[in-house]
Amino acid sequence: MFRLLPEWAVQRLTATYFRANAWYNVGSGKFHSNQSSVDHANMKVKILPALSDNYMYLVVDEVSKEAAVVDPVEPKTVLAAVEEAGVSLTTVLTTHHHWDHAGGNKELVESFGKPLKVVGGDDRIPALTQQVTHGDTFTLGSLQVTCLFTPCHTRGHICYNITSDDPDHTPAVFTGDTLFLGGCGKFFEGNATEMHKALIEVLGALPNHTLVYCGHEYALQNLKFGAHIEPANTDIQAKTQEIKDRREEGQPSVPSTIGEEKKINPFMRVCEASVQQHTGTSDAVETMAAVRTEKDNWKAPKL
List, by residue number, the catalytic residues. Answer: 96, 98, 100-101, 153, 177, 216
Strand partners for 216:
54
What letter represents residue 76's amino acid? Answer: K
* Alpha carbon distance 59, 172 (integer Å): 10
CA 187 to chain centre: 15
Q: 169 Cβ partners below 8 Å, 6+ apart? A: 40, 41, 42, 43, 163
List, edge to edge, every strand of the sheet that includes 88-93: 36-39, 43-50, 54-61, 66-70, 88-93, 117-120, 130-131
* Alpha carbon distance 206, 148 (integer Å): 11
* Alpha carbon distance 252, 216 (integer Å): 10
What letter represents residue 101's amino acid? Answer: H
